[in-house]
Amino acid sequence: MNIVRFSPASLTPYNSYRVAAWAEACFFSETADDFVAALRQSVGVRTVLLGHGCNVILSQDHYDSSVRFLATARLEPALAVAGDRLSAGAGARLRDACRLAARAGLSGLERLWDIPGSVGGAAHMNAGAYGTSFYEVVESVDVLYPATGERAALSREQCRPAYRMTAFQGTDTVILGVRLTLTPADPAAVLAEMGRIGKLRRSKLPYDLPSAGSVFRRPDGAPPVGQIMEEAGLKGFRIGGAQISPRHAGIIVNAGSATGADILAVVEAMRRAARQRYGVELVLEQVVV
């Protein structure tokens, strides 16, 4: 097996909040073999696996070498279509998978169009929008268990998908790739639906500033988070560089040199507001590193 070297690097390009952070031990692999070697070499060491970093909050501006950062963002995307099946490596952009499906005349990913991040991240988080989620089209997920080096192809049921949840959360299981089953359709119709969704998203979400999308899971027994924050007068509320988006109050944006601490302070203010107004405990969707 290859021996890989971990080295210091900036994490700023690897988190969509664009928080400035530095880590002493990083390996941003370009080949699947090196990626697996790095995972196997890191057993017993605290390891943070990033996809494209579109759903993470980096809480520190410096990480010493006791924690290793690995990312799939530079891996070969390995996107392919055969019949009504689409396969993708973990590092492939979800947007590229959607585009490929549309070109091949395959329907099923349209409402996931324009969700930033990787296929591996979507499979870990069960990304979703507009009443659908990633696992609706998943046939199987290829995983690696780093401790033993064992690999498996898991069925959708084995991944136990639920609203923004999967069996992988809270475990060290690494997603290597996915196979999707889609439905043959007219490419023009698929593209038109993606265009509609893209316009809808751009009209509602603050794509103009760095963010990581919705901060919290949708609460049970209370209005959407954005509405709670508006009612609490928190739209536009700011601590340091982190601001509750004036366009969508369920999203925190980096309005200028935000730190992880700024973002987490705004998270706390949002939690307090939901507790006070509706007695609900908001649950973070984003992953704090």
Residue with Cβ nearer ligand FAD (153 or 277): 153
In the sheet with 174-181, reading across from the earlier edge strand, the strands are 80-82, 85-89, 174-181, 138-145, 150-155
Which residue in the set 51, 77, 108, 241 belongs to the binding site for ligand FAD (CB under 6 A)?
51
CB 112 within 8 A of CB 128: yes
DSSP 170-235: TS--EEEEEEEE-EE--HHHHHHHHHHHHHHHHHHS-TTS-EEEESBPPPTTS--HHHHHHHTT-T
Question: Both tokens of residue 41?
Answer: 């070499």
Closest CA to 143 of 171, 105, 118, 115: 171
CA 18 to CA 98: how far, in whole Å? 25
Which residue in the set 18, 52, 111, 248 belongs to the binding site for ligand FAD (CB under 6 A)?
52
Q: Can residue 127 be called a binding residue for ligand FAD (CB under 6 A)?
A: yes
Which residue in the set 4, 26, 50, 274 belongs to the binding site for ligand FAD (CB under 6 A)?
50
Q: Can residue 102 be called a binding residue for ligand FAD (CB under 6 A)?
A: no
Q: How many residues bind ligand FAD (CB under 6 A)?
A: 32
Q: Is 285 annotated as catalytic?
A: yes
Site for ligand FAD in 10-29 (CB under 6 A): 16
Q: Can residue 56 be called a binding residue for ligand FAD (CB under 6 A)?
A: yes
CB 203 within 8 A of CB 253: no
Q: Can residue 211 be called a binding residue for ligand FAD (CB under 6 A)?
A: yes
Select from 32-40, 43-51, 57-65, 258-266 the region that touches ligand FAD (CB under 6 A).
Answer: 43-51
Q: Identify the bridge partners of residue 68 per DSSP, sorted by sequence position.
A: 47
Shortest gap between Cβ of 32 and ligand FAD (angstroms)? 11
Shortest gap between Cβ of 279 and ligand FAD (angstroms)? 26
Closest CA to 79 of 118, 127, 30: 118
Shortest gap between Cβ of 262 and ligand FAD (angstroms)? 17
Helices (H) and strands (E) in the chain, counts: 6, 20
Q: How many Cβ atoms sit within 10 Å of the Cβ of residue 76?
A: 13
Site string for ligand FAD, 80-99 (x = CB under 6 A): ----------x---------
Residue 137 three-state SS? coil
Q: Can residue 252 be called a binding residue for ligand FAD (CB under 6 A)?
A: no
Q: Can residue 175 be called a binding residue for ligand FAD (CB under 6 A)?
A: yes
Site string for ligand FAD, 187-206 (x = CB under 6 A): ------------------x-
Site for ligand FAD, rule CB under 6 A = 16, 49-56, 72, 90, 115-118, 120-122, 124-125, 127-129, 168, 174-175, 205, 207, 211-213, 287
Question: Catalytic amino acids?
Answer: 164, 214, 285
